Amino acid sequence: MALTETGDHEPLDEPEYRRLAEAVSSTRSTSTEQALAAALGGPGGPAAHLEFTHTAVLVAARSVDDVVAALVELGVRPEEQVPGEPVPDEPTRDRLARLTGHDLGADVRLVRCALPGCPRGLEVSVLGGPAGPDRVGWAHPVFRVAGDEVVSRGVYEALRDAGLVPDGGGHDPRGNATALHLRGRTGVELRLPGHRTDLLRRHLGRPDEARRAMFELVTGAWRTRAVAAVAELGVADLLAGGPRTTADLSERTGTRPGELHRVLAFLGALGVLHRDGDAWSLTEAGALLRADADGSLRDLARLYGGLFYLSFTALEQTLRVGGSAFEHFYGVLPFEHFAEHPADARLFEGAMAAGTSFLNLVPGLLDLPETGTVVDVAGGDGRLLGLVLAAAPGLRGVLFDRPHVAGAAREVLARSGCADRAEVVAGDFFTDPVPAGGDVYLLSRVLHDWDDERCSTILRNVRSAMPDGALLAVVERPIRDDRSVLPLSFNVHMMVNTALGGERTADRHRELLAEHGFTLEDIRELPLDMAVLVARATPV
């Protein structure tokens, strides 16, 4: 049944209305497993890692209002758009141009819809003008991939192995998502958060893939400095209350509007900012540059795009003669520099705190006893120990670190409400006895600061304090394989910006622990390729 004409609106053509009606019906009645089976021609595939979230529909219509009216008749609730108009659908325009060889999608608009009583919805792309022989249309399920980049890559490869073939895709900067279109018995779309450049290149099979990849590598410094510059200027803080124009941001930051606009446009393409005309707002990633954001990365961006950015310019010297690139560039080792430059020291401390949001998850990964003692060796400001004690009210804690750390640790533990159950002991794990008799020992981001020889001293001293069977939890970023980009990049970073530090493979961690009286029992995952290596003190 086609729409009857109402008001100034023309009815939809019958095929377009039927496509909408069938999409509404199938979206309501089809599960994730059924939608995937329809595309594959039978059950199977990585359904456990997929969620059928909505159906993407393309229809041709004389006006968007005609489509909205049809959707209402079908019991669908179009979401209100701001400022009252559907948003332009740029990815669909690009796909149409590729499929037809013509710019048919110059006025494609997107209407998002909810289905009352159904967890799924519709995204209807409206192609202006009546249906005809030069028009195309589609209706296909969209699956959200649940999991990290490794899981996403595995899901994609499993679907390719099952017979689905690439059918276009791209990055949507508005939603900061990557869309991968595939085709089998039916079309499907995978929707992944963020800009998955490697997977997108693999999917699109660009003939200039190698050249494009190298261009992105050699221009990576431009991205780092652009992010660092807007972090220094506090642009994200200015956008906390809502969108602002380039002129407004320029006036508030004391910068030149033309030059600032170029950087903002660059960051918009990278998914840091969202652009609406000449107004800018924060994406989810960009919001992390706000100083007041939970887990703010502003100081980290300033450090990596400033002090440590410059130290990397001496990397070649380190490769030729050894030593720390930081020392080659600045003339002293990092902590000597921080002692002489308090502002840099505060920035470093803020950046390191920003990179520890994963610590909130550590207590839940530990097999904590109901009672006993937790000893945090080189526990720093006491944040991790405070989290562990808060998760286990029957435990007592001991924080062991150098004397100058003790004051700050006591304050943090007091703010955590654990001061009455925590003791701070001053000492050096190289030369002083580690507090003995604990049930659980923590070594968080300690071993990567040192070479094997000094790590052996640390582990030997910790083991001498532990009773047989006590638990040792080591928090590090182990290198799992030759595609572990974050661990491998931090391995270089530690070489550049420390005297003796570096990341280790999981096997090397296992060997080091075994050499000093520990058995590695498990490796438990944390975000950003961090992990808790759970070890047990073995009887001597």
> Tens of pLDDT along 10-44?
578 888 899 999 999 999 999 999 999 888 888 87
Asked, for residue 72, whether it belongs to a domain, the answer is yes
Q: Which position has the token pair 């009645």? A: 29
72-86, 147-161, 485-499: least confident range: 72-86
Asked, for residue 130, whether it belongs to a domain, the answer is yes
CA distances from 308 to 31, 73, 311, 330 (A): 50, 60, 5, 10
Q: Do 190 and 332 share a structural domain?
A: no
Q: Do 152 and 94 share a structural domain?
A: yes
> Tens of pLDDT along 293-339?
988 999 999 999 999 999 999 999 999 999 999 999 999 999 899 98
Q: Quick one: pLDDT at residue 242?
A: 95
Asked, for residue 250, whether it belongs to a domain, the answer is yes
107-111, 239-243, 358-362, 468-472: least confident range: 107-111
Q: Which two tokens stand for residue 477?
A: 């970023």
CA distances from 56 to 136, 143, 173, 266, 346 (A): 14, 10, 18, 29, 49
- Is the pLDDT score of 509 beyond 90? yes
Please, which pLDDT band fits residue 208 given cuts at 50, 70 and 90? Answer: low
Q: Quick one: pLDDT at residue 5?
A: 38
Percent of the chain with pLDDT over 90: 58
Q: Do 241 and 108 share a structural domain?
A: no
Taken as a whole, the chain contains a residue count of: 540
Q: Quick one: pLDDT at residue 358?
A: 87
Asked, for residue 5, whether it belongs to a domain, the answer is no
Please, which pLDDT band fits residue 356 given cuts at 50, 70 and 90? Answer: confident
CATH number for 147:
3.10.180.10
Asked, for residue 2, whether it belongs to a domain, the answer is no
Q: Do 462 and 532 share a structural domain?
A: yes
CATH number for 255:
1.10.10.10
Q: Distance (Å, rounded) from C-alpha 58 to C-alpha 199?
A: 25
Q: Do 239 and 342 share a structural domain?
A: no
Asked, for residue 520, whether it belongs to a domain, the answer is yes
What average pLDDT does this structure show over 369-376? Answer: 96
Q: Which of 205, 234, 268 is where one domain is finished?
A: 205
Q: Which of 177, 205, 233 is where one domain is finished?
A: 205
Of 499, 497, 484, whose CA–CA distance to 531 is shortest?
A: 484
What average pLDDT does this structure show over 205-227? Answer: 84
Q: Where are the alpha helices (DSSP H) in 312-470?
A: 315-321, 325-330, 334-340, 342-354, 362-365, 383-391, 403-415, 452-465
Helix (H) or strand (E) holding 23: helix 14-29
Q: Do 421 and 292 share a structural domain?
A: no
Q: Which amino acid is at 427?
A: G
- Is the pLDDT score of 494 beyond 90? yes
> Tens of pLDDT along 273-299?
999 889 999 999 999 999 999 889 999
Q: Mind giving me the DSSP string for 465-479? A: HSPTT-EEEEEE--B
Q: Do 228 and 144 share a structural domain?
A: no
Q: Do 154 and 267 share a structural domain?
A: no
Which residues are designated catalytic?
448
Q: Do 364 and 286 share a structural domain?
A: no
Q: Distance (Å, rounded) from C-alpha 90 to C-alpha 170?
A: 10
Q: Quick one: pLDDT at residue 369?
A: 95
CATH number for 364:
3.40.50.150
Q: Which two tokens stand for residue 355?
A: 């990179």
Q: Is residue 421 classed as helix, strand or coil in its secondary structure?
A: helix
Cis preceding-peptide flag for 487 (omega within 30 of 0): no
Helix (H) or strand (E) holding 96: helix 90-100
Q: Do 99 and 69 share a structural domain?
A: yes
Domain with 450, as residue range(s), is: 356-537
Please, which pLDDT band fits residue 391 given cuts at 50, 70 and 90? Answer: very high
What's the domain count of the chain?
Answer: 4
What average pLDDT does this structure show over 390-395? Answer: 95
> Tens of pLDDT along 425-472?
999 999 999 999 999 999 999 999 999 999 999 999 999 999 999 999
Q: Quick one: pLDDT at residue 88?
A: 56
Please count the CA atoms within 13 angstroms of the CA of 65 that sit on its side-chain side: 7
Q: Do 148 and 201 share a structural domain?
A: yes
Q: Mind giving me the DSSP string for 294-347? A: TT--HHHHHHHTTHHHHHGGGHHHHHHH-S-HHHHHHSS-HHHHHHH-HHHHHH
Q: Do 397 and 290 share a structural domain?
A: no
Q: Quick one: pLDDT at residue 135?
A: 58
Asked, for residue 248, whether it belongs to a domain, the answer is yes
Q: Distance (Å, rounded) from C-alpha 50 to C-alpha 155?
A: 8
Asked, for residue 330, whether it belongs to a domain, the answer is yes
